[in-house]
Structure 1
Amino acid sequence: MAAHVGSRLSTATPYIKDLNTQVRKGEIKVPQFQRPFVWGVAQALDLLDSVANNYPIGSLLLWRTADKLATERNIGEFKLPETEDLTPTDYVLDGQQRMTVLYSALGAEDEGIGFSAVYDLEAEKFLEEKPGERPLHHFPMRWLYQTTKLLNFRTALQSHKNADLLQERFDALIEVFSGYQIPVVTLRDLTIEEVCPIFERINSSGTDLSTFDLMVAATWSKGFDLNEKVEEISYSLEPKNYGEIKGTTVLKCLSVVQYESANRERVIALRGFKGSPDKMDSLVDRTRKALLRAVDQLATDFKIHSLSFLPYEAHLVILTYIYANNPNLSAQALRRVRQWFWRTSFSERYRGAPDDFVTRDLQAIKSFVLKGEDGSEETFGTGLTNAEIKKMVFRKNNSRSRAFILALAKNNPKNLTNGNTIDTSEALSVYNRKQFHHIFPEAFLKRTAPGVERSNLLNFCMLAAADNNRISDRDPKDYLPELIGDLGLHADDVLRSNLMPTADEYDYTMAELGTFFDARVDIVRREIFRLCSGAH
């Protein structure tokens, strides 16, 4: 692959003036998937200063292809001319912000829109051009390649009291900008399949570039916009609090429904629908319905009211595949879905798993859930041992942390302070760590046992932020017996709902972190085993 691409990779070092000419002619464009121009004035001035000092400013990466991509983004605020359909176009994959500054500051019309800069020959620095009268020693950078205006400025500069010094500085400025060359790497006539892996690795600007963005641009036409199809699906999920679903996730869902694969090659194959909008509409409708059923189960069965608490993207993709193939699951199939979900969550099966791994699991899901074949539940993992549970630490992006929170929510927890049932749909609608309470408060442990891990999962339960503040940093030996006394006959029920030992099973007046974990771990392990067995 590398050698194949390398044979169609060219490098050049054009002058800034020549690059700007290509931009002005519409030969270089910014594809739709790129973010808008976001650089501030300070960043733009720093770039010009780097050129003036002959510092390297990085290379540009272009993709030359005769395929016309969606190019709603021009260069900054500048509307560029259309090119003939058969004329190859260079699309900017990396370097849009730098190219925009160079075109706006050096290539645009004098009174054109966008960033405009002057060089202060006295202070020897670049400034943003402001409306009003321009001082004699301020050179408008947009005159750089306009010979007549450049010579007129130099002539006028002779009347300055420091004419000789400023003209020397001016000549040096013109020389460095006129001779400055920028490394440009051009990928020539590569297919979208070849460009995607290159494109996905580009992150010099801190932008999250993805196959989805490239797919949107590569499939765009006046009669078909993949982004609109994805937005249609996202919009339908908004009432269920899943509207923030990523475009790449939707593409994978479309792909598993159509091809039984989440691999990049099959995702890219979806562009074949560009010429068949009716078929794409049908696929989008089928996927949307399956996604809605998947989200319904995630919310009602697994208490996942937001993507923030979904252990893995793979869970939504695979669940969509299941419901696309069987919209009305039997009780046995639902039990098997639960087994698969909890086992993969607690075993961290999809941690760092590539798409081809998820794709292979689709076949196991087809056998286990859709066909009801026996003996494959162990494929997805098993329950945890006491030792493994004791080592688990609360981490926002960790599947075991999320699964533990969901296990708590499944148990319909009641508030430790008053016995009221906690609204888990509200607590789990958006990630907020304040909804989760350290049974042994962080501040208390920091004060009494500074070397101990304070965020073990066994040290957490669900509790509203206001009640969390009420407990503050108190010693559990004090506040827990007090709360148990206030709860009276309901105390055992409230403690069980939080997967905590009852007052008969554990003496809270003698509560210590280690003994509490020993008493709680068996309760948590049994609940994990129950869920991994497919219990509702």
Structure 2
Amino acid sequence: MNTPQQTESIKNLVENIEKGNIVLPEFQRDFVWEVRKTLELFDSLVRDIFIGSIIYGKPTFEITVREIDTRPRKGTGSRKKLKITSFDKEELNQKSQISNFRLILDGQQRATSIYRALKGIDEIWFIGKTEEELIETIRQKEFKSRSLEEMLYEFALQEDENRISIRLSDAYEISNGDLLDEDIKEKYFDQLSYIVGMDTLESKESFRSYKTLCTKLGELFKSDLLLSYYLLNMDNEKFALFFERSNSKGIQLNFIDILAAKLYKGFNLRDKIDELETLFPNNNFDREIIVRTISYIVSNGKNIDRNYILSSLNYEHFNMYWDEICRYYNQVLDFLFNENLIINQSWMPYENMVIPLIIYLKEANQKDFSQMNEHQYEFLKYWYWASIFSQRYSSGSNEAIIQDSMILRKIANNQRISDRVFFTRLKSQIDSYEDILSYSKKVNVIYKGILNLINFNAKGLTDWNNSSKLSQSKKMEDHHIFPKEYIKQQFKNDEQAISLMDCVANRTLIPKITNIKVGKKAPSVYMSELKKSNHNLDNTLVEHLIPTEITEGLYDEFYYEFIDERAKLIFKLIKNNVIEKEKTIIDKYYQQPKIKGSIKIFASYRRKKLEATLDIDSQKVLLLGESHSVSTAADKAKYTLTGKNDTSTNGWRFWKYLDENGQEKFIDNLRK
């Protein structure tokens, strides 16, 4: 039936997808991975963590296939129909022999994610560590001798202006071509924000590092041992059984299960989690949220990643903080429900946003959120919605949690925020009402955010059957306002209408029992039936941002007009709660760092520390009795600490200072 496990390179996978030699059976589920899953995938590849095998099939029977999804996630072309091709038995046999034609039976999400990243459809960035972030043994190695894993800071959705960044698609192009250095520099390197402000020597040194990292990424792409796969030859019956039985069983452990075993002697984590259901029956608790919150407290706001948790937390920490954090967790969920910020816990856009809210409550030393002032309430609402529509927690979530927890601690103490960059990270990803039409999957945070924002605007949505308020305990369905079967029948020859069938502008949240009653009827038909038992249905529809004319049949034949009108109403909500509030929030809550004259600065290099003084006005550094430019002072500091004088350094990202919260910041933060 099958050959033994084999391996191939990423490059080989991408090339064969591009040539059409690797495709999907037509009935395979859609590509559904959010882009953050791609970040995790490449992180695993660099760290040599097994990502599972791809299973290919060479069918011996006629079949219809479709291409790998190469559509943009939103905007023009995002809803175009994927190419479908049918092959008879003879054609398949010929293609298999000539071009090793294969179907992906299992591993579509991984294979598609890899292809999209390397072809630039999804923008994925390799972010390298700074010298200061490397451990001593790695710093002692020559740059070219360091592995990608040793130099990796994270994979991200955008470049990091403070660290060397490489777009994977750029590295792939560079690895495939015969580009000259000047071409690479002009087309890729010179476009980076990271190099802004660098002098010639710094830029030259950074370009060498950039090229070396590109070479290493190219080697990663070409490694024949990176991807494992099985090649199956199967008849019709086995082919069907494979899909029926695959992924139906299996137990997946995560690091919380490992932590539970570690803590067992002094703290039974599993029993404590079970107790929560008795203590707080109305809310569900994510154990990982509690663990990470405790980690934040124990590390004094420095660390919540799994390595720190598994290596540093012990049962004494949990005995000390567990009950308190669970109590705050319950109060946060009650606040989110009572203020209509979430309609149902299963529809929460970002579970991790609970952590900064817990820290806010702990820092404010309040029994509950009813004790906060209007100033605090206004900021929390803006932060909540802006974080969702900027997709702030989609990548680098741990860093966002730590930063936002620090920000909310300041708000809890009625202090202003001196970190200007924080506000830029909250910029909405929705720029126009047309963008809303791109979101059609429940797994997407903006999709969830839109439905929750409608509930918030209505101060709590009502049911369609009887106008009673929807409670958090009811099971919610993202109901199609224009039923799917109605669209398929009424607009069967209109591909664009079909493609918009699942978009969030055609969805609203109602209890499951109501959803079942709708069936395949036209909107005016099933709503007229509902009106017989609920004469206030028009008021309910207004709450759901649904034009009441829909009950009169005016939209039954005009699906596009309905979708456009509702998308505009949704966009207006986003403008009111996020986009147009940005300036007001910055004016009220931002405060420039109060730094004048000169300040003490410091630098740590190879575990040695040196102090100096920065004159804010002249931008000169006084080091060991001599005045230097920022970057020259950095070179002098390195020479003083190591005796080496062949270094070239961006001093703005070498010297640090302590802000008013005691947080270490690069002096580049002051310049900005």
TM-score, normalized by length of structure 2? 0.42
Q: 1:347 aligns with which of 360, 377, 390?
A: 390
Q: SS where residue 436 of structure 1 aligns?
A: strand
Report how far residue 447 of structure 1 moved. 1.6
Q: 2:541 aligns with which of 477, 481, 495?
A: 495
Report how far residue 506 of structure 1 moved. 9.7
Q: SS where residue 425 of structure 1 aligns?
A: coil
Alignment of 1:433-472 (within 5 A): 435-450=477-492, 451=495, 452-453=498-499, 454-472=501-519
1:398 equivalent in alignment to 2:441 = no
1:330 equivalent in alignment to 2:373 = yes
Q: SS where residue 503 of structure 1 aligns?
A: helix
Larger radius of gyration: 1
* Partner residue, 2:523: 476
Give, in whole Å, the separation in 2 of the partners of 1:478 and 1:263: 53
Bigger shift: residues 249-258 or 467-476? 467-476
Alignment of 1:64-463 (within 5 A): 206-221=250-265, 224-227=266-269, 230-231=272-273, 234-235=276-277, 238-243=280-285, 245-246=286-287, 248-258=288-298, 259-260=300-301, 261-268=303-310, 270-271=312-313, 273-274=314-315, 277=316, 280-302=318-340, 304=342, 307-326=345-364, 327=366, 328-367=371-410, 370-373=413-416, 377-382=423-428, 384=430, 385-393=432-440, 395-410=441-456, 411=458, 412-416=460-464, 418-427=465-474, 430=475, 432=476, 435-450=477-492, 451=495, 452-453=498-499, 454-463=501-510
Give, in whole Å, the separation in 2 of the partners of 1:477 and 1:346: 32
The superposition leaves residues 15-67 of structure 1 with CA deviations (integer Å, 9 ceiling, x where unpaired) of xxxxxxxxxxxxxxxxxxxxxxxxxxxxxxxxxxxxxxxx99xxxxxxxxxxx
Q: SS where residue 463 of structure 1 aligns?
A: strand
Letter of the 1:301 counterpart: E
Report how far residue 362 of structure 1 moved. 2.6
Give, in whole Å, the separation in 1 of the partners of 2:575 and 2:279: 32
| Paired residues of 1:436 and 1:460 also in contact (CA < 8 A) | yes
Gaps of 5+ in 2: 6-246, 585-672
* Partner residue, 2:65: none
Distance 1:363 1:444, change over 3 A: same
TM-score, normalized by length of structure 1? 0.52
Report how far residue 317 of structure 1 moved. 1.8
Counting matched residue pairs gives 327
| Paired residues of 2:454 and 2:544 also in contact (CA < 8 A) | yes
Give, in whole Å, the separation in 1 of the partners of 2:573 and 2:378: 16
Letter of the 1:211 counterpart: F
Report how far residue 443 of structure 1 moved. 0.6
Give, in whole Å, the separation in 1 of the partners of 2:480 and 2:392: 28
Give, in whole Å, the separation in 1 of the partners of 2:413 and 2:295: 18
Give, in whole Å, the separation in 2 of the partners of 1:303 and 1:239: 20
Report how far residue 456 of structure 1 moved. 0.8
Give, in whole Å, the separation in 2 of the partners of 1:239 and 1:463: 23
Give, in whole Å, the separation in 2 of the partners of 1:285 and 1:319: 16
Give, in whole Å, the separation in 1 of the partners of 2:405 and 2:282: 25
Q: Matched residues, percent identical?
A: 16
Distance 1:504 1:233, change over 3 A: closer
The superposition leaves residues 446-476 of structure 1 with CA deviations (integer Å, 9 ceiling, x where unpaired) of 2222431211111112334444344321123
Distance 1:379 1:346, change over 3 A: same
Distance 1:439 1:227, change over 3 A: same
Distance 1:285 1:498, change over 3 A: same
Give, in whole Å, the separation in 2 of the partners of 1:351 and 1:437: 25
| Paired residues of 2:361 and 2:412 also in contact (CA < 8 A) | no
Report how far residue 420 of structure 1 moved. 1.8
| Paired residues of 1:347 and 1:381 also in contact (CA < 8 A) | yes
Distance 1:215 1:467, change over 3 A: closer
Distance 1:468 1:313, change over 3 A: closer
Bigger shift: residues 344-353 or 497-506? 497-506
Letter of the 1:392 counterpart: Y
More strand by share: 2
Letter of the 1:414 counterpart: T
Letter of the 1:446 counterpart: K
1:516 equivalent in alignment to 2:554 = no
The superposition leaves residues 467-514 of structure 1 with CA deviations (integer Å, 9 ceiling, x where unpaired) of 4344321123544567679866x4542221111124399973555211
Give, in whole Å, the separation in 2 of the partners of 1:404 and 1:227: 35
Distance 1:234 1:333, change over 3 A: same
Distance 1:391 1:506, change over 3 A: farther
| Paired residues of 1:383 and 1:529 also in contact (CA < 8 A) | no
Report how far residue 268 of structure 1 moved. 3.2
Distance 1:320 1:270, change over 3 A: farther
The superposition leaves residues 64-87 of structure 1 with CA deviations (integer Å, 9 ceiling, x where unpaired) of xxxxxxxxxxxxxxxxxxxxxxxx
Letter of the 2:519 counterpart: S
Letter of the 2:409 counterpart: K
Give, in whole Å, the separation in 1 of the partners of 2:452 and 2:525: 29
Distance 1:357 1:479, change over 3 A: closer
Alignment of 1:52-63 (within 5 A): none
Give, in whole Å, the separation in 2 of the partners of 1:522 and 1:239: 39
Gaps of 5+ in 1: 1-54, 57-203
The superposition leaves residues 83-110 of structure 1 with CA deviations (integer Å, 9 ceiling, x where unpaired) of xxxxxxxxxxxxxxxxxxxxxxxxxxxx
| Paired residues of 2:542 and 2:548 also in contact (CA < 8 A) | yes
Report how far residue 218 of structure 1 moved. 2.9
| Paired residues of 2:550 and 2:556 also in contact (CA < 8 A) | no
| Paired residues of 1:437 and 1:463 also in contact (CA < 8 A) | yes
Letter of the 1:380 counterpart: L
Distance 1:233 1:295, change over 3 A: farther
Distance 1:357 1:228, change over 3 A: same
Give, in whole Å, the separation in 1 of the partners of 2:427 and 2:561: 29
The superposition leaves residues 104-162 of structure 1 with CA deviations (integer Å, 9 ceiling, x where unpaired) of xxxxxxxxxxxxxxxxxxxxxxxxxxxxxxxxxxxxxxxxxxxxxxxxxxxxxxxxxxx
| Paired residues of 1:413 and 1:422 also in contact (CA < 8 A) | yes
Give, in whole Å, the separation in 1 of the partners of 2:485 and 2:537: 25
Distance 1:334 1:233, change over 3 A: farther
Distance 1:501 1:307, change over 3 A: closer
Distance 1:493 1:415, change over 3 A: same
Q: SS where residue 437 of structure 1 aligns?
A: strand
Letter of the 1:334 counterpart: Y
Report how far residue 239 of structure 1 moved. 1.4
Give, in whole Å, the separation in 2 of the partners of 1:505 and 1:234: 45
